Structure 1
Amino acid sequence: MAESKLHSSVTFPSISKCESHGREKHTVVADMDGTLLIGRSSFHYFALVAFEVGGMLRLLFLLLASPLAGILYYFISESAGIRVLIFATFAGMKVSDIESVGRAVLPKFYSGDLHPETWRVFSSCGMKCVLTANPRIMVEAFLKEYLGADLIIGTEISTYKGRATGLVTSPGILVGKNKAEGLRKAFGNTTPEIGIGDRKTDYPFMNLCKESYMVHRTPKVQPVSQDRLLKPIVFHDGRLVQKPSPLMALLIILWIPIGFILACIRIAAGALLPMPMVYYAFRALGVRVTIKGTPPPRPEKSLGQTGVLFVCSHRSLLDPIFLSTALGRAIPAVTYSLSRLSEIISPIKTVRLNRDRAKDADMIKKLLKEGDLVICPEGTTCREPFLLRFSALFAELTDELVPVAMSNRMSMFHGTTARGWKGMDPFYFFMNPSPAYEVTFLNKLPGDLTCGAGKSSHEVANYIQRMIAATLSYECTSFTRKDKYRALAGNDGNVVEKPRKIAADKVMGS
């Protein structure tokens, strides 16, 4: 490695001066906070781990410890301040839970803070290394999967019997000389071509590179758009919508008790009031429901009419309920992976799909003879502007198909989860100060585009998927339920049923 230069005598050029062309065979080494990321504070990401793993009380503990961490960080030692954040966040947590948040939650927030100039240089190089004071367990999944990093050298947390102790292993927090030593250990006698940092404590490792550049604070810099990442973030988990700054963390803690009471009132209104009144009750309680398009009339059984099948995009388990709210009448829904609590509080009839194609088809046909029905052929929810692959079974069962584009907006909490308890999904949705749903009824599918006219079920399903995607300005994908759960929860998302002695017409999703 090149000899370290005297820190006081070195002035590094701005990252904007770095040429990014012809770097395919070069190695880049970059810091993370303030360098790869626009934000210089890592509190937001520790707060996400604290809340998603430890809940409100752990977030409160971190918030109370943050003033001490700030004083140590800015006036005494960066290392000491980060140690406080790590202890307050990780002490006692299962390592597997921290890894899960690092894989399923943090990438969404990290990707929204990516520095454009650093990414321009970083992405142009053939070999990419990140040196960071952050715990490697938090950042590794994002850096490797979405930024293409080949090597991550970060702070290593101490563990005992599968749990984090809140301490760190030798050599401690990777700041200053520890970063330089980590770089020497990883590269040996090889000298990286480019080093990128943003503060004086990055000078030791930057001095070990052939070229070094500084990322200066630029208040108006805009983060990289997510379509420039190596792959789009289609799936992500976690309850928080916004990155929790200290002020936002405080607001979340203060709001949760109030929001839970409000959620219970809203849920009770939806479950106990007659469906024609639910729309007005929701509006009075701050839940905005926007209805677009013209829904079909109720089927007339006396004329031999069967029900229509409403084919919906799937944003949360509340989609069928808000569809019923928009129609002013309860529409039964076929479901999968619905919690027992959600069954109990549901204001509409829900019928479980058991993933047996023949049995599911027979059940749906019987329900359509009784009246209208709702189905979400994606099989699971997606938060981002994408539609998952539509299962084609529904298209084989009826030609009376009405596509419905569902979308929702939340400001504080997500009403879906892949890793957590699904029974809390409706509560988290209604805990938002002013949640919103938009229900757009599209035209009934013409007869010549149905299976009855000779179209295959896959053609029909794909056509409806494209219709809904165009309405919402979403992108169609071929991802499935299994893809989502493998990405977020490390399983296939299958629910193991426990036998229950419940009458067949009373069984709901599980």
Structure 2
Amino acid sequence: MVFPMVLLKQADWVLYQLLANSCFRAARKMRSYGFLLRNQSLKSSCLQPQPSPFPSVNKCDLQNRGSDSLVCDIDGVLLRSESFFPYFMLVAFEGGSIFRAFLLLLLSPFLWLLKYEVQLRVMIFVTFCGLRRKDIESVGRAVLPKFYLENINLHAYEVLASAGSRVIFTSIPRVMVEGFLKDYLNVVSVVGTELHTAGNFYTGLVSGPGLLVKHRALKEYFGDKKPNIGLGNSSLRDHLFISICKEAYVVCSLSSSIMPRDKYPKPLIFHDGRLAFLPTPAATMCMFMWLPLGIIVAIFRISVGILLPYKLAVLLGVWSGIDLHIKGCTNKNTTPASKSKGVLYVCTHRTLLDPVFLSTSLGKPLTAVTYSLSKMSELIAPIKTVRLTRDRKRDGETMERLLSQGDLVVCPEGTTCREPYLLRFSSLFAELADEIVPVAMNTHVSMFYGTTASGLKCLDPFFFFMNRRPSYHVHVLGKVPKELTCAGGRSSIEVANYIQRQLADALGFECTTLTRKDKYMMLAGNEGVVHENKKC
């Protein structure tokens, strides 16, 4: 009985809101816009920002605010974005599918014709209907924080950070913002719109009293008390909301400034998802227009790497748009001094393509040891790959055997990291070889990330090569002096830490003590044990 009632309720809402109120509102908007086009003087005066009865957030005194309470919204106040549409698009794409994202994009021109409340209801329904609660929680934890941090208004954040008690009131679904606000901004409580669920799935409807009305929710939360500081934007809704506070300030989008990375309240080290850009309507449309050609380009680039000799593969790869930077690949750095063992190349781990690009840059075949490589990636790999078991003794024997057969590539971080940080290096490699060559690898993409913690790993190389102009930087450093290896009396941990610092300095990255387990616990809620059905 639940599902038919949900359908009837949704049909009633669509008929009333979209076919009655929204059509009338759209006609009135278009008529007003046409009138302004005929009267340019009125148009210019209407577009000018109206003076606010409240001072700017820049005028707020930040001293001695430790005992004060602060209330504000994330949409249009803490975030610089004028629309919350990109974040709904991220949930639709990362938590749903590319088809759901395409549907939301098709609706974006019509959303402009609707009033704010109806816009929000439509975006909620299209984004959430039929999605699992577990998937949305994963997106909120692993994907959205990166984009929120990159769009925080610095002035609004400084006021927020100065207050001792911080409460967020928002019409946005609470599940989309609560994790970020509590984990990164130390918000005490988040009061937002609640969504209706059927079992473990969202129905796309708003539960309870409907969309949150901020000034009413504030009165219910604080009762007779008034919060000390209220931040809002220039809308009348926010004016009513912050007028209840003892002090009220307005955040102006024209004077907003980006918060630099070094001022992030918490370092952004791990994040997940495929999209590397904020999916505004225009940017998302460009992505979908590029997608058919991008698939063809990706297949071409992968085929070139598999079928052609190294020099020709590099030539055609660069011709197809790959921005390849090679440094330090000289015979002096890469030729083993002893014929009994090969050279051990120790790489930073940015994507699963690191050993492939190193082999291509050096112009010679290498063997790579892997753990979580999918069967598809093993099949199309142009170099030999050997799986490890994470059993230290067995893996050590395997790597020693491979070194006796030739040169070997290892990524001691154990997993990829997208941000300018290096994870803790496993010291196993240092016990196996005296001739160690560190290799600083770095990548840059503009559209799709070529790594994932919770998605299908078999698609990693395709997504990386679907970027219009992906870049790869390969910097082969000099061999580690013998006196700084285990053969020179150093412990394996000392050698691993030394090489980690050397690579971090070469890339301008920061060393951490975080591990693969830390990454997967945060992003996927597990310890990074890869099952066959997740690898393809």
TM-score by length of 2: 0.87
Structure 1 residue 165 corresponds to structure 2 residue 203: yes
Match of 1:283, SS state, is helix
Match of 1:131, SS state, is strand
Structure 1 residue 395 corresponds to structure 2 residue 395: no
Could you tell me which runs of 5 or more consecutive residues in structure 2 were left unpaired when the two chains were aligned: 1-49
Q: Displacement of 1:313 after TM fit?
A: 0.2
Q: Displacement of 1:85 after TM fit?
A: 1.0
Q: Are the aligned partners of 2:336 and 2:435 in contact in 1 as well (CA < 8 Å)?
A: no
1:131 aligned residue (132, 145, 169): 169
Structure 1 residue 288 corresponds to structure 2 residue 323: yes
Q: Displacement of 1:286 after TM fit?
A: 1.6
1:204 aligned residue (240, 264, 269): 240
Structure 1 residue 84 corresponds to structure 2 residue 119: no
Distance 1:97 1:243 in 2: 20
- Deviation per residue, 1:445-481 (Å, 9 max, x gap): 0011001111111110000000000000000000100
1:311 aligned residue (346, 351, 354): 346
Distance 2:198 2:336 in 1: 66
Q: Displacement of 1:137 after TM fit?
A: 0.5
AA in 2 matched with 1:66: S
Q: Displacement of 1:287 after TM fit?
A: 1.4
Q: Displacement of 1:296 after TM fit?
A: 4.3
- Deviation per residue, 1:267-290 (Å, 9 max, x gap): 111111123432122112221221
Structure 1 residue 244 corresponds to structure 2 residue 279: yes
Q: Displacement of 1:213 after TM fit?
A: 0.9
1:107 aligned residue (145, 150, 165): 145
Structure 1 residue 53 corresponds to structure 2 residue 95: yes
AA in 1 matched with 2:402: L
Q: Are the aligned partners of 1:29 and 1:129 in contact in 2 as well (CA < 8 Å)?
A: yes
Distance 1:244 1:295 in 2: 42
Q: Displacement of 1:497 after TM fit?
A: 6.3
After TM superposition, the structure 1 = structure 2 runs for residues 94-493 of structure 1, keeping only pairs within 5 Å, are 94-174=132-212, 178-198=213-233, 199-218=235-254, 221-296=256-331, 299=335, 304-493=339-528
Distance 2:191 2:261 in 1: 24
Match of 1:83, SS state, is helix
RMSD: 1.8
Q: 1:469 to 1:299 in 2, by over 3 A?
A: closer
Distance 2:331 2:438 in 1: 11
Q: 1:496 to 1:86 in 2, by over 3 A?
A: closer
AA in 2 matched with 1:110: Y
Match of 2:114, SS state, is helix
AA in 1 matched with 2:139: V
Match of 2:43 in 1: none
Distance 1:326 1:294 in 2: 7
Question: Which stretch has the larger CA shift, 388-397 or 92-101?
Answer: 92-101
Distance 2:400 2:415 in 1: 22
Structure 1 residue 71 corresponds to structure 2 residue 113: yes
Q: Are the aligned partners of 1:309 and 1:398 in contact in 2 as well (CA < 8 Å)?
A: yes
Match of 1:93 in 2: 131
Identity %: 50
Aligned residue pairs: how many? Answer: 484
Match of 1:28 in 2: 70
Distance 1:25 1:299 in 2: 65
AA in 2 matched with 1:124: S
Distance 1:194 1:63 in 2: 37
Match of 2:324, SS state, is strand
Task: Name whichever structure is richer in helix by fraction.
Answer: 2
Q: Are the aligned partners of 1:379 and 1:481 in contact in 2 as well (CA < 8 Å)?
A: yes
Q: 1:204 to 1:355 in 2, by over 3 A?
A: same
Match of 1:72, SS state, is coil
1:11 aligned residue (53, 60, 79): 53
Q: Are the aligned partners of 1:266 and 1:285 in contact in 2 as well (CA < 8 Å)?
A: yes
Q: Are the aligned partners of 1:299 and 1:372 in contact in 2 as well (CA < 8 Å)?
A: no
AA in 1 matched with 2:68: H
- Deviation per residue, 1:200-223 (Å, 9 max, x gap): 11123212211111112216x321
AA in 1 matched with 2:197: T
Q: 1:141 to 1:340 in 2, by over 3 A?
A: same
TM-score by length of 1: 0.92
Distance 2:372 2:330 in 1: 28
Could you tell me which runs of 5 or more consecutive residues in structure 1 were left unpaired when the two chains were aligned: 1-7, 499-508
Q: 1:296 to 1:173 in 2, by over 3 A?
A: farther
Q: Displacement of 1:91 after TM fit?
A: 1.1
Distance 1:304 1:430 in 2: 36
AA in 2 matched with 1:292: K
Distance 1:270 1:15 in 2: 54
Distance 1:9 1:420 in 2: 48
Distance 1:286 1:203 in 2: 50
Runs of 4+ in 1 over 6 A off after TM superposition: none
- Deviation per residue, 1:363-388 (Å, 9 max, x gap): 10110111100000000000000000
Q: Are the aligned partners of 1:20 and 1:121 in contact in 2 as well (CA < 8 Å)?
A: yes
Q: 1:423 to 1:479 in 2, by over 3 A?
A: same
